[in-house]
A and B are shown apart, each in its own frame.
Chain A
Amino acid sequence: MLLANGLGVRLGGAQVLRNVTAQAPRGAITAICGPNGAGKSTLLASLAGLMKPCSGVVTLDEVPLTNIPAQDRAKRIGYLPQSGEVAWNLSVRNLVALGRLPHGGGGEEQIEDALQSVQLSGMADRSISTLSGGERARALLARVLAGDPDWVLADEPLAALDFYHQHQVLACLRSAARMGRGVALVLHDLALAMNHADRVIVLDEGAVAADGPPEQALSADIISRVWGIAPRWLGEPGARALVI
């Protein structure tokens, strides 16, 4: 279990997270939702052990992340930041292979599996600069998957993807969850969170506004309170559409 307990984070003097308790269990997809500036990316980075909390603690299987050596933590938690930065024009294969750094390289099989899981096997030898935004986003996700981590934490991994590839990537993440990995995603698309997450954490102004199954955490009341608009959900569970 990856757990944030009473987490507080200050950035540049501002309290970005306050007393947040949230968990990303194994075998499940956890969506982190909230308006801009709610602290979603900060929570995800904290779960990855990249933030220094001013209060509270993040634990991995009950061990504080701060007590786990950086390399061991990197082997167990794969983190995809929002920026999508790739400084040099690497080949797709070399980019994905960076995910093996915590293991000291190697892992050709994992690299091939990761490329296949995001449908980029045919583009493995192409340069990153020749890819579309969506292909690049999938290559970056493959980089995380190639590390074969126990937890996949991804900040808006679907933002640059078309409808087909959003669902293809979600299927890939679902498959990772079925294999016992924990998956935590920052998502802006509430319908995707509603239909694909097992659990949703809603953040508002750095605090947890709701935490639970999607039908509860993303109820019309909570969306109205947190986002300030009154929506309606249409359709059946697993195939909900959000209407304003």
Chain B
Amino acid sequence: MRAIRAHPTVFLLVLIAGVFPLSLLAGRVWLDFASTPNALVILAQLRLPRAVLALVVGAGLGAAGAAMQGYLRNPLADPGLFGIAPMAALGAVASFWFGYSATVWLLPLFALVGAGAGMALLALIAGRSGGIALFTLAGLMIASLAGTLTSLAISMAPNAFAMSEIVTWLMGALTDRSWREVWLAAPLTAAGIGCLMMTGRGLDALTLGDAAARSLGIGSGALQAWLIAGIGLTVGSGVAVAGIVGFVGLIVPHLVRPLTDRRPSQLILPSALGGALLVLVADSVVRILPLVTELRLGIALSLIGAPFFLMLLIKMRRGLA
């Protein structure tokens, strides 16, 4: 355990390196290069981009969750709290509503515009010197507004097909994704994780509370700006290519924290790797499950995440968290 704690990123990289090839082979049809027809095409055009996208989306959500929990000093915080994911989802829903979703780049573009609008609203409301409470309340308000508008869009969908498309997409999945989504999400997620890494020093200082952090020279405005940019890019790009994939940002920092020295700055990169691993494993499992239709990734993670959240609440109530 001591060796893992000294190098959690190496440990997680080794795990990913072990799981990744398996995930390429796993599916309703297990790839066997000797007997599966077009195995190479399936691998290169379907399995590989999907697995890479799982890593990208998971890494973004994991890093965003770690930064959120560090910023709010709350182990129950989730990136969804800031309203950026619901705004990205609203953007994507708008593309379905207006009939642009069939055009290659427009669905993710609409989602990214939604995430950008969420980030701008958050920055505008919280302001340069806004405290954590104002920031969180602003995020909750934006999330609530986006959720309401999404419900409105569903209830007033122009036709049953659009409604079905919206509802299915909102469940989150990596089904039928291609390299196109990877090239869209990967650079944005990498940039987002870079922004979140910039918050490390400020998040460490916030461990001691707002006043102590300011006395250590941490400016709340700069910290919030990096955080908004980081969460906007990671979560926004994740929602743009995969829909709503919840609970990764909540679960992963918890699982990874014991592998670190518990400083928020030391949790971001391992959480990115942990998130990548979790989404990769979850997406492989939903492909293997013998169901009539593939279980949506967002539903699968919620099925794991909700009981996990309850367990955390119970642990916290007992004062053990």
Contacts and interface: CB of A to CB of B under 8 A. Distances in A.
B208 A86 contact: yes
Interface in B39-89: 73
Interface in A21-56: 45, 48-50
Q: State the majority secondary structure of interface residues on B.
A: loop
Given A98-B204, A101-B205, A88 B215 contact: no
A103 to B, nearest CB: 10
Interface stretch (B181-189, B238-246, B261-269, B276-284): B261-269
A97 B216 CA distance: 12
B211 A87 contact: no
Contact of B263 (A81, A94, A147): A94
B211 A71 contact: no
Interface residues of B, number: 20
B206 A87 contact: yes
Interface stretch (A72-80, A166-174, A191-199, A229-237): A72-80
Contact of A101 (B211, B216, B264): B216
Contacts of B214: 50, 70
B207 interface: yes
B262 A45 contact: no
A147 B212 CA distance: 13
Nearest to B206: A87
B219 interface: yes
B209 interface: yes
Contacts of A48: 215
Nearest to A91: B261
Given A88-B262, A98-B205, A73 B212 contact: no
A99 B207 CA distance: 12
Interface in A108-163: 140, 143, 147
A214 B226 CA distance: 48
A98 B215 CA distance: 12
B211 A98 contact: no
Nearest to B266: A94
A102 B73 contact: no
A66 interface: no
A101 B201 contact: yes
Contact of B211 (A81, A91, A140): A81
B211 A45 contact: yes
A88 B264 contact: yes
Contacts of A62: none
A98 B217 contact: no
A163 to B, nearest CB: 27
Nearest to B72: A87
B73 A87 contact: yes
A98 B262 CA distance: 13
A50 B208 contact: no
B207 A102 contact: no
B262 A90 contact: yes
Contacts of B207: 86-88, 90, 95, 98
Nearest to A87: B73
A112 B207 CA distance: 21
B215 A85 contact: no
A224 interface: no
A15 interface: no
A214 B201 CA distance: 41
Contacts of A49: 215
Contact of A79 (B73, B204, B215): B215
A99 B205 CA distance: 9
A216 interface: no
Nearest to B217: A74
7 contacts: A48-B215, A69-B217, A74-B217, A85-B73, A90-B261, A101-B205, A140-B208
Interface of B: 73, 201, 204-209, 211-212, 214-219, 261-264
Given A79-B215, A81-B211, 14 more contacts: A49-B215, A69-B217, A74-B216, A77-B215, A81-B212, A86-B207, A87-B73, A88-B263, A88-B264, A90-B262, A95-B207, A101-B205, A101-B217, A102-B217
Q: Which A-B residue pairs are the 6 nearest by beta carbons?
A: A74-B217, A79-B215, A87-B73, A85-B209, A71-B217, A70-B217
